[in-house]
Amino acid sequence: MIPGPEYPGQTVRPTRAPIRDRRQSGVARGMAAALVVVVLTLAVSWSIAPILSPTDRVLRAVAAATVAALWLAATIGHVAALRFESPADIDAAAGGGGDSPRVAIAQAVLRNTLEQVVLAIPAYLALAWVVEGSGVMVPALAALFSVGRTLFWANYARGAAARAFGFALTFYSSVAALLIILVALVGRLV
């Protein structure tokens, strides 16, 4: 909040600038489409949810977490392979120079994947533990994570609009899981 000229001493929320760039429009479209896919996937998953034991649900969550961790391993391996094959990049930061564009992009994908994995794994485990009907949801979320990571990685160099759907598919699926957990926990308290 910033002090407002109309009301001295009171803060005013700054207004968001309107979308005026085609890249912003492309990102907004990609994110909206991903949100629709996540909501539909979760709705279908919920409607066909078998009743599983807590142990079986947690085992599915461990499998889903393993999928997410494998994506992280793949991006780490990709950066390592690019560094190994490039004399200019092999010393990394210790070499004193900056990364080549290929390594910089791979590093960006790695950082984003790490962030997504840190969000996804606890979401899968908590969803499996807290929500009885999560038996199909958790594997569906892992599938969305994988599709999202594939699209994000493949389209990263093409710009923000090209990678937005993949990013949002990964992010929204984890956030949706966290929201479902929150609703379930609040429902138990009320």
Question: What would the pLDDT profile of 86-104 be if each residue is shown by its tens digit?
Answer: 888 787 766 666 788 899 9
Please state the rounded mean pLDDT for residues 35-60: 92
H and E: helices and strands count for the chain: 5, 2
What's the mean pLDDT when you consider all of the chain? 90
pLDDT tens, residue by residue, 115-162: 999 999 999 999 999 998 898 999 999 999 999 999 999 999 999 999
Alpha-carbon gap, residue 166 to 71, rounded angstroms: 14
Q: By the 8 A CB rule, do 102 and 156 touch?
A: no
Check residue 190 and give its pLDDT: 81
pLDDT tens, residue by residue, 143-155: 999 999 999 999 9
Alpha-carbon gap, residue 187 to 190, rounded angstroms: 5
Which of the four pLDDT bands, split at 50, 70 and 90, describes residue 22?
Answer: confident
Please state the rounded mean pLDDT for residues 1-8: 57
Alpha-carbon gap, residue 81 to 100, rounded angstroms: 13
pLDDT surpassing 60 at residue 1: no
pLDDT surpassing 80 at residue 7: no
Q: By the 8 A CB rule, do 120 and 141 touch?
A: yes
Check residue 28 and give its pLDDT: 94
pLDDT surpassing 80 at residue 18: no
Please state the rounded mean pLDDT for residues 33-41: 97
pLDDT surpassing 90 at residue 64: yes
